[in-house]
Amino acid sequence: MSSREIEKTMEKLRAEIRRHDDLYFRKAEPEITDPEYDRLKRELADLEARYPELVPDDTPTRRVGDDRLEAFETYRHRQPMQSLDNTYSEEELREFYRRLVRLFGREDLAFVVEPKIDGVAVSLTFERGRFVRAVTRGNGIEGDDITRNVKTIHGLPHRLPGGRFPEIIEIRGEIFIGNDEFERINREREEQGLALYANPRNLTAGTVKLLDPKEVGRRRLRIVLHGLGYCEPRFFERLSDFHETLAGWKLPGVDRYKVANGIDEVWAAVEELDQLRHGFAYATDGAVVKLDSLSRQEEAGSTAKAPRWAIAYKFSAEQAETVVEGIFLQVGRTGTLTPVAALRPVKLAGTTVSRATLHNRDEIQRKDVRVGDTVVVEKAGDIIPAVVEVVLEKRSDKSRPWPFPGHCPECESEVIRLPGEVAIRCPNLSCPAQVRRRLRHYASRQCMDIEGLGEAVVDQLVERGLVERIPDLYDLTREQLMTLDKFAEKASENLVRAIEESKGRELWRLIHGLGIQHIGATASRDLAASFNDLDRIANASEEELLAVEGIGEITARSIAAYFSEKQNRELVEALRERGVHTRDAVAAEKRDGPLSGKTFVLTGTLPSLTRQEASDTIEAAGGRVTGSVSKKTDYVLAGEEAGSKLDKARKLGVAILDEKGFRELLGRT
């Protein structure tokens, strides 16, 4: 390769890695498995080692990812949160050990070997024994303040017992969601026609960044603590002391750690962990080996990205070979076509696997997966299988690339690809597959909450032609329902009643239930709070929609596009004719008050009001509280230790109030 070509290859790898970093850290929607990601990084690192002159400063191999989002306060870690070097090879683990032996000039080094938890990194700060803050890793230097969400975790004491603790201590850990809870949430989402989370880690990453702690509380987050950040004054001699002390403080530590002397004991402990790990509540993808002595850790120091005193040995993901017996398309609620591989059933990490997602057209072309191919499958986060690669040596001469169909498998409509989107879609709104998904979504708990209208019932209603559009639900009679399988008189009556009751649901539920692209529960609430009338939303211009706090360009465009379609306006009209409420009576009253029309953002700690009290006061006076500062914000109510939101308010010239000013404002108006 010429140096120009090498440079190009490296740039391509860097772009690819950055894209996957963004998918993983910010969007919590990775497209590839961790081992695949590690392979990309390894490939880049190898090239960089050979051509150091071609390495820019900002290469992703030297930086940790970034999870920060606009809606959260950022907080600077007292001590940076670093990443770990990782390896899949025993030889490299031994090399890590030899480096430290050379550095300290002695063989008898003690290490702690503990599980590597596949969760979402968090740093907890305790001041004088009180839990004060939880922050994500962010870019390693500063992260998002997720304290309110972390406080929903059961079993995390807010005050350490006993009287012996450091003034200030940052404790590092991982937040995770157990497999049972993951399955429960996905089952619920499936019933509701929502996209499924690929694995517990993605679900966890999405959950810690939800804006509504109540919603977070509905998903059982858990936590396990493994590391020590800033600590003042010095409190521990060894990492093993720290682990020991966690238990005394009633904090959830790792399931098992072992002190190992010398590399052979280290290796034995690593292998033992590989055996034990399936019994832990969290997913483990490796072992972390750390120097036990904290003063030696300090002496060893770290590189820009990772400490020299620790390494992660990653267990190889369990892989299996099997044959692709077919490839089919799944049609989503908005018409997205997802290719799925039907596999010859194969045992993998304890379960039988017979399907794997192929994500989208680009992905299936990139991997060139064909029917009849032998493929290697792997479990990402030990849950959902993915096709890693095709075993080309086993490919038949007769095989042909899989042609992505030009037509929807359900309704034969010609498929389309919207500019700027990866997804291929079926544009036919009456496509039975879409109709089924839309109805399930409309009836789901997060929307109109129609009890008894589950998947099986919806499928039958559509199949028998009893329901084609959402309003048809309201015309169903008891007699019609009694013709369905397993539907006796009682069930039919109950369902008719549940459908009738749904007419009076809050406006945001109706908006959400329409299934407008990009409009989830939060945007629906924002729209309902701001317009309180579906007609006004339907008639709003893109600019008017954009003026709503929380509504960005993509959502505004999507809403405007939805209501520009005649059939969608007719649908709303048909719902109204059948008695579905398109306004909120209660909200209209609540909105009148001295602060009505004013938007507030809260930041920092107020001297006498809690956050909840401040929000309640604002809302009772007709105002609104939102998460992030923008030009549309009227006031930022700032307390002590206010962070980035205050800076942003200053930059944008938004009025800033302290508690006294806030009380004055209330009194004056």
Q: Which residues are catalytic?
A: 116
Q: How many residues bind ligand IVH (CB under 6 A)?
A: 15
Closest by CA to 161, choosing from 231, 253, 254, 247, is 247
Distance CA(538)–CA(569), nearest Å, equals 8
Residue 269 near ligand IVH by CB under 6 A: no
CB of 254 to ligand IVH, least distance (A): 6
| Number of residue whose CB is nearest ligand IVH | 121
| Least distance to ligand IVH, CB of residue 118, Å | 7
Q: Which is nearer to ligand IVH, 231 or 462 (CB)?
A: 231
HSE-up (13 A, CA, CB side) for residue 42: 11
For 248, list phi and psi in degrees, rounded to 5.
-60, -30
Q: What is the DSSP secondary-structure string of 164-221?
A: ---SEEEEEEEEE--HHHHHHHHHHHHHTTPPPPSSHHHHHHHHHT-S-HHHHHHS--
Q: Half-sphere exposure (CA, 13 Å, Cβ side) for 605? A: 8
Identify the residue among 20, 68, 116, 505 touching ligand IVH (CB under 6 A): 116
For ligand IVH, the closer of residues 283 and 548 by Cβ is 283
Answer for which of 36, 66, 67, 174 binds ligand IVH (CB under 6 A) is: 174
Quote the strand ranges of 43-118, DSSP E.
74-76, 86-87, 110-117
Query: Residues 10, 47, 121, 528: which binds ligand IVH (CB under 6 A)?
Result: 121
Closest CA to 499 of 475, 469, 465: 475
Pairing of strands 374-380, 351-357: unpaired
**Which C-beta is closer to ligand IVH: that of 312 or that of 461?**
312
- Phi/psi of residue 664, nearest 5 degrees: -65, -45
Q: What is the DSSP letter of 415?
A: P
CA dihedral 226, 232, 235, 238 (to 10 degrees): 50
Told to check if 307 binds ligand IVH by CB under 6 A, we report yes
> What angle, 0 to 180 degrees and rounded to 10, lies between the N-to-C axes of helices 3-21 and 34-50?
150
- Secondary structure class of 105 (helix, strand, coil): coil
Shortest Cβ 114–ligand IVH spacing (Å): 5
Of 243 and 505, the one with the shorter C-beta distance to ligand IVH is: 243
Q: Which one of 82, 136, 532, 555 is in contact with ligand IVH (CB under 6 A)?
A: 82
Q: How far is the CB of 25 from ligand IVH (least distance, A)?
A: 12
* Binder of ligand IVH out of 175, 310, 415, 514 (CB under 6 A): 310
Q: Which stretch binds ligand IVH (CB under 6 A): 78-86, 418-426, 431-439, 578-586?
A: 78-86
Specify the residue, 115 or 193, whose C-beta has the smaller distance to ligand IVH: 115
Under the binding rule (CB under 6 A), the answer on residue 114 touching ligand IVH is: yes
Q: Does 136 engage in binding with ligand IVH (CB under 6 A)?
A: no
Written as six digits, the tokens of 227 are 């590391």
Out of 84, 150, 510, 602, the only residue in the binding site for ligand IVH (CB under 6 A) is: 84
CB of 85 to ligand IVH, least distance (A): 9
Q: Does the protein bind ligand IVH through residue 312 (CB under 6 A)?
A: yes
Rule CB under 6 A: is residue 143 a binding residue for ligand IVH? no
- Residues listed for the chain: 669
Q: Which amino acid is at 286?
A: G
Of residues 207 through 236, those in contact with ligand IVH by CB under 6 A are 226-227
Contacting residues toward ligand IVH, per CB under 6 A: 82-84, 114-117, 121, 174, 226-227, 288, 307, 310, 312
